Amino acid sequence: MLKYYKNTVLYYDHIKTGIGIITGWKKPNLIREHLTQESLNKVKTIGTLYTKNGINYIIANLFLNPEINHLILLEDSDIYNKMSESIKTFLSFLKTGKIDFQEKFHYSEDCIYEFCTYFKNHISVVSSHDLNEKINEISLESNWRSKPLELEVIKVENAETLVSEKQGFMVRANTVKEAWERSLKLIGTYGNLKLSDYDERQMELIYQLL
Mean pLDDT of 34-44: 97
Other residues' Cβ atoms within 10 Å of the Cβ of residue 200: 14
Question: What are the boundaries of each domain within the chain?
Answer: 10-137, 169-209
With cut-offs at 50, 70 and 90, classify the pLDDT of residue 164: low
With cut-offs at 50, 70 and 90, classify the pLDDT of residue 179: confident
Average pLDDT value for the chain: 88
- Proportion of the chain in helix, strand, coil states, percent, rounded to 5: 35, 20, 50
**Amino acid in position 39:** S
Domain 10-137 has CATH 3.30.70: no
Q: Which residues of 107-141 are buried (b: 16+ CB within 10 A; e: fewer)?
A: beeeeeeebbebbeebbbebebeebbebbeebeee
**Phi and psi angles of residue 21, each rounded to the nearest 5 degrees, phi first:** -105, 125
Mean pLDDT of 162-190: 77
Rounded Cα–Cα distance for residues 114 and 184 (Å): 39
Q: Is the model's pTM score more than 0.85?
A: no
pLDDT tens by residue, 41-84: 999 999 999 999 999 999 999 999 999 999 999 998 766 667 78
pLDDT tens by residue, 127-153: 999 999 999 999 998 999 999 999 999
pLDDT tens by residue, 93-136: 999 999 999 899 999 999 999 999 999 999 999 999 999 999 99
Q: What angle do CA 157, 4, 159 make, to 5 degrees?
A: 15
- Going 68 to 72 to 78 to 84, the CA torsion angle's sign is positive
Q: Is 23 helix (H, G, I), strand (E, B) or coil?
A: coil
Percent of the chain with pLDDT over 90: 60
